[in-house]
Structure 1
Amino acid sequence: MYDENLGYDPASPDSIEEYAKDLEDKTFLEVMQSRGIEDNAAILAYANKLRKGGLGNLLEEVYFGYKANSNQEADFANAGVELKTTPYEVTKKGELRAGERLVLTMINYDRPVEIEFYKSHAWEKMRLILLIYYWRNKMQESNLFYPIKYVKILTQWDQAHIHD
């Protein structure tokens, strides 16, 4: 059901993706400003380049309205959608490359591994991935100036046919 406070239906992958598409061509600072965040302490906390996952946390907390966590379930549990925010870079030759590895989930060593892959928490997290790519341009004075360039929900079909 559509949630006016959030601006999307947290149980609908299509609604989540449509809402996320509004991020394209915005910087992280513009996202914060659009939500009325002008407190310098909050801005500086997200601008800290040493804060691993800080820009992803910014989108989770500021844009999508939920607290960042390390739960085993998908970020949008009712829709089965996992949010992944990751950078790409442009090399000196003008080629695109991944800015870092993308971690889908962590292995829980405290309990037995699920033998059936399609029943595993890993499958639940990767079945529908809301992928948000931003351009990590190190010439920018702050990572909050990095522009978000690509937003799409990837499905198992997309992943299987990515090279077609």
Structure 2
Amino acid sequence: MKFTTKGLSMGDAYEVVMEDVPHDCVLMVVSELHGLAGSVFPPEIDGIVVDLHAWSHSALRSEERQRNFCLIQRLGDFSLGGSARLKVLLLRVIGFNGAIDVEVSFDAEPSDVQMLMQEFQTLFFCLKRCSGAGAICGGMEPVADSATRIFMHG
């Protein structure tokens, strides 16, 4: 896969999105991301701190799946391997119309973007394979803009 940072400038935010994560794999995906962080801050929904395990058992039950939600959590000292580290990573688990996406966003120096996106692509491709999730893509926020997308699978 060829990477490009054409059109990206200093101070931009980046994100990686994994779409359609199966409900029974959401906690596994989040736990894998937690394992790469030096510090994990409490998750919140609408500004209210929630217990991740209790939330996952209630929010992901079949009768609750149609509810829309956005769980947000900060992860500190996030390590992608080697020298690929991020001081802060924002994790979002978004439920909309019964589907769940897992997203991460971060700020990076333009000189680091290619290396970080390669590492995130490897990580999210592995998580996709393990969970049976849908497409994964990464690029400048919003990643839905194909002009600033760096990678996409699925």
What TM-score bracket applies, with the shorter chain setting the length?
under 0.3
> Greater RCO between the two (CA within 8 Å, min separation 6)?
2
Higher gyration radius (CA): 1
More strand, by proportion: 2
TM-score w.r.t. the length of structure 2 is: 0.26
